[in-house]
Structure 1
Amino acid sequence: MTDQPIVSTQWLADHLSSPDLVVIDGSWYLPQMGRDAAKEYLDGHIPGAIRFDIDDVSDPSSGLPHTLPQPHVFSSKMRKLGIGDGQTIVVYDGMGYFSAPRVWWMFRVMGVSDVYVLDGGMKKWAAEGRPLEDGGTPLRPERHFTARLDYSALADIDDVKRFTSDGSVQILDARPAERFTGQAPEPREGMRSGHMPGAFNLPFMKLMNEDGTLKDAASMRELFIEAGLDLDKPVATTCGSGVTAAVLTLGLTISGARGLKLYDGSWSEWGGREDTEVVTGN
């Protein structure tokens, strides 16, 4: 296997019949995108791929969108999907890099090391004329899945409040610049516009090439540095609801950064409360 957290479409095509390979369609879209991830999966997916719904594999008691569930819940959900210990997991989504890195991160934070994102996703796979199949998720026998939550990879609101005051961890926001500066409204109602004090901004789309693949490590390192980061210091990523923050986490991982955290509540939590400081402008 590669030592990087991504694999190419050619690699996946060459290994698609491997018995211990699990392919996951982790597509998810914002309502304003006008796309239906479940229908797109039924209409055509990579052969053998399992549909993974981040809204279903979540903690409904949090009151926030698709936050990470407790380890025993995640383990139960994966067992029922036929995903177990010792398997190699490849995740893709319909856009290339949008929600698939979130699913990758969920597995990583639950202790799975052999999990990868398909570079370019379904967009590249289909453009190359590679095989697709339609219909529902294939039935797979249940397998034992061991979840070991890495709490150090998570940041909660108290952590982020501390980071904004003491600067011990850099905050990197994946949202578009207009939302970060407060010039554009948030897509979710009730959210204030702006960003966390001291946060840096790097819209996640900037990490991608025109064909939907990820830029190389050197190019991404330059982007992170240009955004203001010191890659030798810890970073907490954030976005609107914890999805595209994982694109930055993936890019930072490839770029060699360490001490990474993801703020799962993200702006849905921070921007929706009155006890948090919100800054506008650059």
Structure 2
Amino acid sequence: MKIKSKKIMSLFLASVLAGSMFVGCSKQEDTSSSEETAQTETTSATTKDEYTFDNNEYFTSITWLKDNMESNDKLVIIDARADKDYNKGHIPGAINVIWQALANVEGKAGDKDWGTLQDAETLSKTLSSFGISNDSQVVVYAAKDGWGDDGRVVWCLKRAGIDARMLNGGINLWEAEGNEMSKDAVTPEATECTISEIKPDMNITTEDLKKEYDSLKIIDARAEDEYNGAVNFGEARGGHLPGAISIPFTELYNEDGTIKSNEEIEAIMTEAGINKDDAVVTYCTAGIRSAYMALVMTNAGYTNVRNYDASFYEWAADEANELE
């Protein structure tokens, strides 16, 4: 992993932050992990001995990361939290990449395609600036009390064909185990990354959602109060998509931040009426929590799960779209 330390982050990331954080001000869904105060659903505890995702297509472990930090030249570690949290302490060598850096954030939340993944050409430039190449192995982490920012970043990278995985337990478990922390900001050395296409099978647009609506199981990954109509983040209207099933994304992980077992995930989905062969769409406010849920479900064997990344912001902004 080729990196160099600086006192500040790269100008590119700073400009993205400036452009995205002024959208909606305090009324917008603040996707900074430390700002999440609305997610109060109860999670369960676990112990490290119960982990089931040591290193696979979607998750990797702290053990694997520590074993590869010094020897794996292809490794890129991403801290997906807000810069203020990153600056307080992060995994050594990690760069700071928030989800907005990979998204279209011109205009305001609710505008057509706001918050959706960048096109292939733009994303190629973005990933190159972060030192990510086509053969990189990317490990992304965030905080358990956040918005699932790590899931959203991994979802973006996987759509671009990059090998990316979430760190099971995230920064919370890393610290809890007494692992080294750093306050040295890291700026990556630019590389060459060429994205030929953005995979379409992990996402659904508003237009396709409307066309396929009657054949889908739709999951609302937001908190219960949002599902019931609370407008906490500058949404144009409150409520939920017609027929949507409420499963807050916080139900998918344990108190220590680790992902629940596949058996536990299946029990949650079965109780909600979701079968493994259903065509499923997940959504939240801006497609962050729902991206996290889509990856967790796919890892658990649900083979047809798509994230609606335009999500509730775009749906609610159009008065023609029905809400319950």
Structure 1 and Structure 2 fold alike (TM over 0.5): yes
Q: Name the residue aligned to 2:55.
A: 2
CA contact (8 A) 2:144 2:256 kept: no
Mapped pair 1:109 → 2:162: no
Mapped pair 1:26 → 2:73: no
Mapped pair 1:160 → 2:215: no
Uncovered stretches (5+) of structure 2, i.e. residues with no partner: 1-53
CA deviation profile, 1:74-129 (whole Å, cap 9, x unmatched): 110110111101111100013377210000000111122x2110011111101111
Q: Name the residue aligned to 2:313.
A: 268
Counterpart residue type for residue 108 of structure 1: K
Q: Name the residue aligned to 2:302.
A: 257
TM-score, structure 2 normalization: 0.77
> Which runs of 4 or more aligned residues in structure 1 lie more than 4 Å from their structure 2 counterparts after TM superposition?
none
Q: Name the residue aligned to 1:172.
A: 219
Tell me by how many angstroms 1:264 deviates.
Answer: 1.0
Structure 1's 253 and 21: CA in aligned 2 closer, same or farther, altered over 3 A? same
CA contact (8 A) 2:123 2:195 kept: no
1:198-217 aligned at under 5 Å gives the runs 198-217=243-262
RMSD, aligned CA: 1.8
Of stretches 226-235 and 88-97 in structure 1, the one that deviates more from structure 2 is: 88-97
Mapped pair 1:51 → 2:78: no
Q: Name the residue aligned to 2:11.
A: none
Q: CA–CA distance in 2 between the matches of 1:58 and 1:3?
A: 26
Mapped pair 1:14 → 2:67: yes
Please state whether the residue corresponding to 2:215 is helix, strand or coil. coil
CA contact (8 A) 2:98 2:153 kept: no
CA deviation profile, 1:41-80 (whole Å, cap 9, x unmatched): 1221111111112223221346435321111111101101
Counterpart residue type for residue 303 of structure 2: R
1:29-178 aligned at under 5 Å gives the runs 37-61=82-106, 63-64=108-109, 66-95=115-144, 98-112=148-162, 114-164=163-213, 167-178=214-225
Structure 1's 147 and 118: CA in aligned 2 closer, same or farther, altered over 3 A? farther
Q: CA–CA distance in 2 between the matches of 1:190 and 1:127?
A: 36
Tell me by how many angstroms 1:133 deviates.
Answer: 1.4
Structure 1's 49 and 195: CA in aligned 2 closer, same or farther, altered over 3 A? same
Pick 1 or 2: higher relative contact order, CA cutoff 8 A, min separation 6: 2
Counterpart residue type for residue 24 of structure 1: I
Please state whether the residue corresponding to 1:138 is helix, strand or coil. strand
Uncovered stretches (5+) of structure 1, i.e. residues with no partner: 28-36
Q: CA–CA distance in 2 between the matches of 1:62 and 1:249?
A: 26
Q: Name the residue aligned to 2:7.
A: none
Tell me by how many angstroms 1:15 deviates.
Answer: 1.3
Structure 1's 144 and 247: CA in aligned 2 closer, same or farther, altered over 3 A? closer
State the identity as a percent: 30
Structure 1's 205 and 149: CA in aligned 2 closer, same or farther, altered over 3 A? same
